[in-house]
Amino acid sequence: MATNTAPWATQAPTAVLVLADGTVIEGRGLGATGSAVAEVCFNTALTGYQEILTDPSYAGQIVTFTFPHIGNIGTNDEDAEDLNPAAHNGAVGAVFKADITSPSNYRATSDLDHWLKRRGVVAISGIDTRALTALIREKGSPNAVIAHSPDGKFDLEELKARAAGWPGLVGLDLAKEVTSGQSSVWRETPWVWNEGYGEQTAPTMHVVAVDYGVKRSILRIIAGLGAKVTVVPATTSAEDILAMRPDGIFLSNGPGDPAATGEYAVPTIRDLLKTDIPVFGICLGHQMLALALGGKTEKMHQGHHGANHPVKDHTTGKVEIVSMNHGFAVDAKSLPEGVVETHVSLFDGSNCGIALTGRPVFSVQHHPEASPGPQDSHYLFRRFVEAIRARQAEPALAGQ
């Protein structure tokens, strides 16, 4: 057992991060009390901690923030990314280097510590996050238990056994845990400075968004481009989706192993692809589109989590800086004839986008909505909308 106590600690630890290999990292507890078992990853973004922690794609994960000062801007009720904050879909744990700082932002309605408590997120501070990040880079994302007890009493042997016994994300379908319980219509449009969020009241197209763990920012952008957006649960059948007469179909981001979610999602996607309706996928939606087209996915060593990832778009020749959040990837070598690789990571060469030749069907691994992160890839939403409008303009549809 290796015990890693912060050199500046002046009191007994009130939180521990226990890795599956028996490593115990001690620190100060924040957020909710109790414990959670999950996979540990690191995120290199400098901003947007609330958006990161509420992204349903982080379900089943403990996020280590490499940026040392977290909490500066506080939290608010507007920046959560999960559709149902009451369900607390998102990361189950958080790891910080420094203690949470007091908020200093006009939009803040609460400090981060109280917000973490309300959402049930267990957090730890006062540890060497650079060392933990280096460990993840060397050995891969470990399974772990994060525990917070104000009295500093922990059953370390039980926590070690729990961390070692957790099966991990491979084979785990988490989309069912974070998806919407029923269909709903989304009308909110992107935030505007000093105006807040708007509302789409005059849509010119209808997009059905299959919710595997969708982010609000994605729905806002689609609505802001002129769409009525109907959000449907992950298990919705192709028959029910097509009965809604969509002009476009969106396959959302989400957590877990795409192969596991694909057990029920892939047959649905294959049926949807029998139509000529434009399809756009992001993150988990990208991976499952690849599976539906005959490709394969694989677990990554450490995954991609951050807002500074360079990706090249082969269709334009341009390099974009994008937001990433995924622990699985599409195996580009497995893509069949007729499916082309459109985007690639310049960090490790992994696949970041595909398209079906001659069809308005495409997807990307990264998060073009950002939130947080750069907006280099917003054009992908416009590409989706342009495909919808082109189909609407076809003579066979114009008279309907």
251-286 confidence digits (pLDDT tens): 999 999 999 999 999 999 999 999 999 999 999 999
Query: What is the pLDDT, as a whole number, of residue 381?
Result: 98
103 and 248 in a single domain? The answer is no
Looking at 120, 135, 165, the residue that finishes a domain is 165
Is 361 part of any domain? yes
Query: What is the pLDDT, as a whole number, of residue 8?
Result: 43
32 and 131 in a single domain? The answer is yes
Q: Which residues contact residue 94 at a Cβ distance below 8 angstroms, ignoring those fewer than 6 apart?
A: 30, 31, 53, 62, 63, 64, 65, 116, 121, 122, 123, 124
Is 109 part of any domain? yes
222 and 289 in a single domain? The answer is yes
Is 61 part of any domain? yes
Is 367 part of any domain? yes
130 and 10 in a single domain? The answer is yes
122 and 211 in a single domain? The answer is no
Phi, psi of 18 (to 5 degrees): -110, 115
CATH code, 298: 3.40.50.880
132 and 213 in a single domain? The answer is no
DSSP string, 137-152: HHH-PPEEEEEE-TT-
Looking at 165, 197, 225, the residue that finishes a domain is 165
| Residue ranges making up the domain that contains 351 | 175-398
Tokens of 145: 């238990």
Query: What is the pLDDT, as a whole number, of residue 7?
Result: 46
Q: Which residues contact residue 155 at a Cβ distance below 8 angstroms, ignoring those fewer than 6 apart?
A: none
Q: For residue 227, what are the β-bridge partners?
A: 205
Preceding omega of 395 cis (within 30 degrees of 0): no
283 assigned to active site: yes
Cα distance between residue 363 and residue 372, in whole Å: 20
Looking at 147, 165, 183, the residue that finishes a domain is 165
Q: Which residues contact residue 1 at a Cβ distance below 8 angstroms, ignoring those fewer than 6 apart?
A: 22, 23, 24, 156, 160
Query: What is the pLDDT, as a whole number, of residue 88?
Result: 82
367 assigned to active site: yes
Is 170 part of any domain? no
156 and 304 in a single domain? The answer is no
Q: For residue 298, what are the β-bridge partners?
A: 329
How long is the chain? 400
243 and 101 in a single domain? The answer is no
Number of folded domains that form the chain? 2
The answer to whether 66 and 103 have CB atoms below 8 angstroms apart is no
Q: Which of 153, 253, 263, 246 is nearest to 212 (CA)?
A: 253
203 and 127 in a single domain? The answer is no
Query: What is the pLDDT, as a whole number, of residue 3?
Result: 47
The answer to whether 336 and 295 have CB atoms below 8 angstroms apart is yes
273 and 155 in a single domain? The answer is no
The DSSP call for residue 220 is H
261 and 334 in a single domain? The answer is yes
Query: What is the pLDDT, as a whole number, of residue 10?
Result: 53
Query: What is the pLDDT, as a whole number, of residue 91?
Result: 96
| Residue 241 parent element (H or E) | helix 238-243
13 and 75 in a single domain? The answer is yes
**What is the model's pTM?**
0.95
Is 318 part of any domain? yes
Cα distance between residue 103 and residue 98, in whole Å: 14
Determine whether 383 is exposed, middle or buried from the number of CB atoms within 10 Å of its CB (0-12, 13-18, 19+).
middle
Cα distance between residue 204 and residue 161, in whole Å: 55
Instruction: With a cut of 50, list the residues of the chain below it in pLDDT.
Output: 1-5, 7-9, 399
Cα distance between residue 292 and residue 269, in whole Å: 6
CATH code, 122: 3.50.30.20
List 41, 51, 148, 283, catalytic entry: 283
List 148, 343, 366, 367, catalytic entry: 367
Query: What is the pLDDT, as a whole number, of residue 305?
Result: 98
